[in-house]
Amino acid sequence: QVQLVESGGGLVQAGGSLRLSCAASGRTFWHYTMGWFRQALGKEREFVAVINLSGQSTFYADSVKGRFTISRDNAKNMVYLQMNSLKPEDTAVYYCAAGDSGIIVTTIRDYDYWGQGTQVTVSS
C-alpha cells in the first residue's frame, strides 16, 4: 500500500510559479505510475500530468502542456509538479495519485492511491 501526502500549494498571482511535492510511503514506490490530477470548485476531477516508473516518459493535459513539468525522485519517494505561467483557470485542489499499471495512464480509475490534495489559487 502507498500513502501520499501533497504539499506546496498556495496563493500566487497570474504568471507566477509554484512547485507541488508529493511524498510517498512504502519501499515499492518505483513500482507505481505517478500522476497529478486537479479538481476545481463545482467541477469534476481532471487529469493534469503523469510520469512512468523510470521517469523517462511523461504526458500532459493540453491545458498545461508547456507550462507544467512532472518529475520524480525514486530514491526519495517523491513526485513533483513544477507549475509555471500560472493562470486563474489553474485554480483547483491538486491531487497526487499512484497507479500500479506501470504505464502511462490518464483516467481516474487507473489510479489506486490518492493523497488528500493541496489547494492552488491563482489570482488575476
Q: What is the mean pLDDT of residues 89-97?
A: 98
Q: What is the pLDDT of residue 30?
A: 87
- The pLDDT, as a whole number, for residue 96 is 98
- The pLDDT of residue 102 is 85
The SS3 call for residue 109 is helix
What are 17-36's pLDDT values in tens digits?
999 999 999 878 889 999 99
For 44-78, the pLDDT digits (tens) are: 999 999 999 999 999 999 999 999 999 999 999 99
- Give, in order, the Cα–Cα distances in Å from 84 to each of 77, 112, 116: 23, 28, 23
99 vs 52: CA distance, rounded Å? 10
**pLDDT higher than threshold 80 for residue 103:** yes
- Say which amino acid occupies 29: F
Calculate what percentage of the chain has a pLDDT beyond 90: 93
Contacting residues for 92 by C-beta, under 8 A, at least 6 apart:
38, 39, 40, 41, 43, 119, 120
Rg of the chain on CA atoms, in Å: 13
Mean pLDDT across 33-41? 98
| CB of 39 closer than 8 Å to CB of 97 | no
Q: What is the mean pLDDT of the chain?
A: 96
- Across 80-91, average pLDDT: 98
